[in-house]
Amino acid sequence: MDLSRYQAEGPYPEMENRCPNPKALAMLYPLYAGAASELSAIHQYTYQRLLCCPDEVTETLGGIAAVEMHHLMMLGRLIRSFGGDPRFCQPSRRRWWDGGMVCYENRLCKLLLKDLNDEHNAVTAYLYTAQRIGHPCAAALLRRIAKDEEHHIILLTKLINQFCRKG
């Protein structure tokens, strides 16, 4: 699948090897495998694709899910570079990721609106973390991921306007 339609333009920053950094890890784990995380987004979009939706919606949700999986992989590598274990949990809270963190809304317009809200929240979380993480390379990656999330907002807004607005 060509992901270029579902990503913002431009390359992702190269990651450098880092040394252990518990402070950075504490900020990254919620983005990686928390309730509002890349892992949750992947599962939510995958569930939504399995529902009876118009082909354009199914294709877009699948493309977004694939980009979110790319984000998950990059965050996992970043966690490793800071000395962490990329398990699907938040170690500080001793909470493992589970399927209950996914929204199982099955009405098309409501699920698209939920996705739109989640993407807005993701942009905010990535930009906030980028400001606080204290590592230029990691901050650059988080800002680049936020650009993808902003692009997802555009794609979801188009779907909402096409399928959910009564004229």
pLDDT tens profile 98-129: 999 999 999 999 999 999 999 999 999 999 99
Query: What 8-state DSSP symbol labels residue 92?
Result: G
DSSP assignment letter at 16: P
Q: Which pLDDT band, with edges at 50, 70 and 90, does 77 fall under? A: very high
Tell me the mean pLDDT in the region 72-89.
Answer: 96
Cα separation of the two ends of the chain:
34
Cα–Cα distances in Å, from 103 out to 18, 44, 94, 150? 35, 6, 22, 20
pLDDT of res. 167: 54
Q: Residue 131 CB: number of other CB atoms within 10 A?
A: 11
| pLDDT level of residue 161 (50, 70, 90 thresholds) | very high
* pLDDT value at 18 more than 80: no
Q: What share of the chain is helix, strand, coil (3-state, %, to 5)?
A: 70, 0, 30
Give the pLDDT confidence of 33-73 residue by residue, as tens digits.
999 999 999 999 999 999 978 999 999 999 999 999 999 99
Question: Each residue of 127-152: pLDDT tens digit?
Answer: 999 999 999 999 999 999 999 999 99
pLDDT at 156 over 90: yes
Categorise residue 122: left if φ over 0, alpha if ψ from -120 to 50, beta otherwise: alpha
Top pLDDT among 34 and 90 is at 34
- Give me the DSSP letters along 115-167: HHHHHHHHHHHHHHHHHHS--HHHHHHHHHHHHHHHHHHHHHHHHHHHHT---
Does residue 25 carry a pLDDT above 60?
yes
